[in-house]
Amino acid sequence: MAASKKKRLGRGLSAILEDVELAYKQGIEDQEDKIKEIPLDSITPNPYQPRKRFDEEALRELSASLKQHGLLQPIIVVERDDGYMLIAGERRYRAAKLAGFDSIKAIVTNFENKNLRELALIENIQREDLNPIELAKSYKELIQEHNITQEELSNIIQKSRTQITNTLRLLTLSNETIKLIEEGKISQGHAKVLVGLDKETQKIVTDTIIGQKLSVRETEKLVQSIKNQKEPPSKIDKKLRLNRKLLKKGVEALKNRGFRAKVSQNKITISFEKEEELEKFLKFLED
């Protein structure tokens, strides 16, 4: 019985994805009468939208493109008694509002309420509009809601099982690390290296990634170095903080002497624009 339910739900999820693709294809190519010009203020965003953060700079760029070229791909909405609910295309919807548009082209389709969450999740997954954590939460929700395996989800959304597994593992990271990923302060590549580390060690590594602008490869080396250390993480953390403190102290001393200096990856960089500045620095060293 349970197996039958799982199979049925899996097919339903796949059908939802096909509905989204069909709405785009048929709505644009074969059923142009379904495309309407709808007032923006009559559209309500989908409350099940998994994407919580929108890149403001990217929205401004899309807004400028809409002003110059117009909307090339309509959004998808479902009609409601009080207007329309947005199903797919929230970035285009937001960019159109930013561009000062009064209305937007939309494909008006018909979906049941129970499918709205799945539609929002899949539309974003397919268009890669989510940050790594939002994507991981979407995968988890689809798996739990439909009682399907990672392999079945992989077949439905056309993503590799390995990719799904690695993305889901990000949810095992500490809340502090997850927040940094959501804010874009560390990349998914960095985050993968942190999986399996305890909360304290994650804090050490993320502080170093951000403070010293480490690449993923440099982060891998740092994590391996910490794993090889016999000292507890707290002592390693103390040494790292001490090094950064000394570097900052050195920069402040140079700035107080009138030199342009900054800290970058365990280095102090001093900039000279004039020969007199270099001579002043050399004299400073001699003194």
Q: Which is higher by pLDDT, 109 or 86? A: 86
Write b or e for each residue in 252-287: b if 16 or more Cβ atoms lie within 10 A of its Cβ, otherwise e: eebeeeebebeeeeeeeeeeeeeeeeeeebeeeeee
pTM (two decimals)? 0.48
Q: Which is higher by pLDDT, 245 or 18? A: 245
* pLDDT at 187 > cutoff 80: yes
CATH number at residue 102: 3.90.1530.30
pLDDT band, residue 57 (cuts 50/70/90): confident
Q: In this structure, is residue 234 part of a structural domain?
A: no
Residue 197: which domain range? Answer: 173-228
Q: Which of 181, 205, 228 is the last residue of a domain?
A: 228
Given 37, 90, 118, 231, the catalytic residue: 90
Clarify whether residues 139 and 65 are in a common domain: yes
Q: Which is higher by pLDDT, 43 or 128? A: 43
Q: In this structure, is residue 233 part of a structural domain?
A: no
- Report the percentage of the chain scoring pLDDT > 70: 70
Q: Which of 167, 193, 212 is the last residue of a domain?
A: 167
Clarify whether residues 99 and 208 are in a common domain: no
Q: Which is higher by pLDDT, 165 or 23? A: 165
pLDDT by residue (tens digit) across 10-38?
444 554 445 445 544 444 444 455 678 88
Total domains present in the chain: 3
What mean pLDDT value characterizes the chain? Answer: 74
Known catalytic residue at 90 = yes
Look at residue 193 in the predicted model and tell me its pLDDT.
Answer: 93
* pLDDT at 103 > cutoff 80: yes
**Which range scores top for mean pLDDT: 99-108, 184-193, 245-254?**
184-193
How many other CB atoms are there within 10 angstroms of residue 221's CB atom? Answer: 12
Look at residue 194 in the predicted model and tell me its pLDDT.
Answer: 94
Look at residue 274 in the predicted model and tell me its pLDDT.
Answer: 77
pLDDT by residue (tens digit) across 72-99?
678 788 777 788 888 777 778 888 887 8
Which whole number is the average pLDDT over 188-204? 91
Which whole number is the average pLDDT over 182-189? 89
Look at residue 123 in the predicted model and tell me its pLDDT.
Answer: 59
Clarify whether residues 32 and 154 are in a common domain: yes
